[in-house]
């Protein structure tokens, strides 16, 4: 009962934070340089990490923090939960752009804020055109010293499960030549794909060492990232 109450309070606080920070980005933020919007988005992530800790007793720890990107790179992260879509905003440097579903851009306030920052919304049914957009837009953003964040599985997967890794982020790495940083975590154990409850505990986030994709095909990059992520996830606690 207490977990449900704490989770409901956090959900209400999260929605409020989206309204407050999202409106700040699309009003005051649009009058300021892009760097200001990036920092407002990062502050939103930090605020939610604090709310999770205070309301849900949900914490996190980073293994390999020294590998977090300091310059342009392509981050490929395991996707189990909503946690990483919020927390990486604070954990990774503010200058970041996401490969995300086009449908998210239609959401009131949240979608407006996404549109005010140079992200890469894609229509997943567009096939080659979507991949072409990822490569062209992603390369341009990397050249602006931004970090590109992608979830290769495309959708959230429950702990112990995995979906086919998409090739879009890997193709971006092959064509652009920018370094790739894999990330693994077990957030889905504490914040599940469906349901309100956020269980107390400590999420483990593992940051891999960046590697140079030079001389590798997109398929080879995908296999390397998938093997590393799945091996790391298998080492992490998978139950409460």
Digitized pLDDT (tens) for each residue of the chain, 240 residues in all: 899 999 999 999 999 999 999 999 999 999 999 999 999 999 999 999 999 999 999 999 999 999 999 999 999 999 999 999 999 999 999 999 999 999 999 999 999 999 999 999 998 777 788 889 999 999 999 999 999 999 999 889 999 888 999 999 999 999 999 999 999 999 999 999 877 899 999 999 999 999 999 999 999 999 999 999 999 999 999 888
Residue spans of beta strands (DSSP E) within the chain: 58-63, 74-77, 96-101, 120-122, 147-150, 180-185, 201-207
Q: Is residue 240 part of a domain?
A: no
Domain count, the chain: 1
CA dist 212 and 193 (Å) reads: 33
Question: Under 8 Å CB-to-CB from 6, ≥6 apart: which residues?
Answer: 55, 56, 57, 198
Give the residue numbers spanning the domain of 78: 2-235
Supply the pTM of this predicted model: 0.95
Residue 53: count other Cβ atoms within 10 Å of its Cβ. 13
Query: Quick one: which of 204, 205, 206, 208 has its CA closest to 225?
Result: 208
Domain assignment present for 49: yes
Cα 36 from Cα 25, distance rounded (Å): 8
- 177 phi and psi angles, rounded to 5 deg: 80, 5
User: Under a CB-based contact definition with an 8 Å cutoff, are residues 59 and 49 in contact?
Assistant: no
CA dihedral sign of residues 13, 27, 82, 39: negative
Question: Mapping DSSP to helix (H, G, I), strand (E, B) and coil, where does residue 115 land?
Answer: helix
The Cα 154–Cα 107 span in angstroms is 19
Is residue 19 included in any domain, yes or no?
yes
CATH assignment at residue 117: 3.40.1130
Alpha-carbon distance of 201 to 178, in angstroms, equals 35
Q: CA 203, 209, 212 angle in degrees (round to 5)?
A: 140
Residue 193 lies in a domain: yes
Residue 58: inside a domain: yes
């Amino acid at each position: 009962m207490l977990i449900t109450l704490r989770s409901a309070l956090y959900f209400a606080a999260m929605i409020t934070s989206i309204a407050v920070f999202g409106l700040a980005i699309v009003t005051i933020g649009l009058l300021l340089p892009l760097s200001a919007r990036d920092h407002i988005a990062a502050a939103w992530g930090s605020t939610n990490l604090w709310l999770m800790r205070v309301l849900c007793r949900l914490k996190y720890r980073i293994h390999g923090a020294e590998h977090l990107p300091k310059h342009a790179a392509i981050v490929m992260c395991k996707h189990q939960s909503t946690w990483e879509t919020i927390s990486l905003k604070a954990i990774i440097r503010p200058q970041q752009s996401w490969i995300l579903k086009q449908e998210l851009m239609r959401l009131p306030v949240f979608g407006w804020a996404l549109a005010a920052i140079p992200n890469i919304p894609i229509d997943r049914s567009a096939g080659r055109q979507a991949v072409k957009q990822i490569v062209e837009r992603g390369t341009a953003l990397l050249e602006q010293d931004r970090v590109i964040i992608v979830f290769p599985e495309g959708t959230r997967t429950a702990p112990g499960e995995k979906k086919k890794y998409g090739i879009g982020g890997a193709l971006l790495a092959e064509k652009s030549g920018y370094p790739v940083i894999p990330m693994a975590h077990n957030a889905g154990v504490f914040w599940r794909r469906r349901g309100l409850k956020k269980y107390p505990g400590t999420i483990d986030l593992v940051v891999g060492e960046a590697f140079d994709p030079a001389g590798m095909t997109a398929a080879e990059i995908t296999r390397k990232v998938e093997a590393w992520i799945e091996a790391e996830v298998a080492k992490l606690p998978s139950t409460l």
